[in-house]
């Protein structure tokens, strides 16, 4: 159905910034809540941020509040994750996912996942 492709990952120094993009194909993007998750080596996947279909509602993990910003441009079928003040502990593969339902809390069920993009933050 909806195909998601992440990009923008790379290597950055601690304190630096990076902007991730998730490009979606398909007709249903604008009606889907979107989210970002990340998974570090040998660790469980963790929630990062989510945004409602209109962009009017967002939710963040405590670990990234004040540093990360999720946004979307429905005209471009793209969701973004602006990451500022990056820390080494932010190092992970970041995944974009379309949420099946979103009520302003952390989404639990998803319809599509991207392939992920690597973010590495050096000390």
**pLDDT tens-digit readout, 23-37:** 999 778 888 999 999
pLDDT at 89 exceeding the cut of 80 = yes
pLDDT of residue 11: 98
Query: How far is it, in rounded angstroms, from Cα 109 to Cα 123?
Result: 34
pLDDT of residue 122: 97
35-82: per-residue pLDDT in tens? Answer: 999 999 999 999 999 999 999 999 999 999 999 999 999 999 999 999
pLDDT of residue 70: 98
pLDDT of residue 30: 87
pLDDT of residue 101: 87
With 0-12 / 13-18 / 19 or more C-beta atoms within 10 angstroms meaning exposed / middle / buried, residue 66 is exposed
How would DSSP label each residue in 39-104?
E-TTS--EEEEEE-TTS--EEE-TTTTTTEEEEEEGGGTEEEEEE-S--GGG-EEEEEEEES--SS
With bands split at pLDDT 50, 70 and 90, how would you rate the model's confidence at 17? very high
State phi, psi for 63 to the nearest 5 degrees.
Answer: -65, -20
* % the chain with pLDDT above 70: 99
Mean pLDDT score, 3-16? 97
pLDDT of residue 80: 98
Mean pLDDT of the chain: 95
């Amino acid at each position: 159905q909806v195909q998601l492709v992440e990009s923008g990952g790379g290597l950055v120094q601690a304190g630096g910034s990076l902007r991730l993009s998730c490009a979606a194909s398909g007709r249903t993007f604008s009606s889907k809540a979107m989210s970002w998750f990340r998974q570090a080596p040998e660790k469980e996947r963790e929630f990062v941020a989510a945004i409602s279909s209109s962009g009017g509602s967002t939710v963040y993990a405590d670990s990234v509040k004040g540093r990360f910003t999720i946004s979307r441009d429905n005209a471009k079928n793209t969701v973004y994750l602006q990451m500022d003040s990056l820390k080494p502990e932010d190092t992970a593969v970041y995944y974009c996912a379309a949420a099946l339902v979103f009520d302003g809390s952390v989404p639990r069920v998803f319809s599509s996942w991207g392939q992920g993009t690597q973010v590495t933050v050096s000390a």
